[in-house]
Amino acid sequence: YTVSYLSSHEGECDFIAQRLGSKNLAVQEWSGEGKVPQREWDGLELGAKQTHAQGLLLTYKHTTEKSQKYQVKTIEEWLKEPKS
């Protein structure tokens, strides 16, 4: 993987992960509690759109928030997934 940070006048996305032969992955990390702030969703949207990526919002704690466009997982859930 190549991992980078996306920053523009429109906002920022924490990580853009790229691997030859795979779809890009835009990752936004949020460590707060309660409702995920809109700026986090906006950053994920920006990263996914600008890099033609799938999106993933990673949280430290479980959240009940869902997204029809992007995956929402705790870091622990994501790390336990089988990797190809």
| pTM exceeding 0.85 | yes
Cα-Cα end-to-end distance for the chain: 12
What distance in Å separates the CA atoms of residue 12 and residue 52, rounded to the nearest whole number?
A: 15
- Report whether 30 contacts 59 (CB < 8 A): yes
> In the predicted model, is pLDDT for residue 83 greater than 80?
no
pLDDT of 14-43, one tens digit each? 999 998 999 999 999 999 988 899 999 999
pLDDT of 32-74, one tens digit each? 988 899 999 999 999 999 999 999 999 999 888 889 999 999 9
4 confidence band (pLDDT: 50, 70, 90): very high
The encoded tokens of residue 81 equal 């997934």
- Report whether 50 contacts 19 (CB < 8 A): no
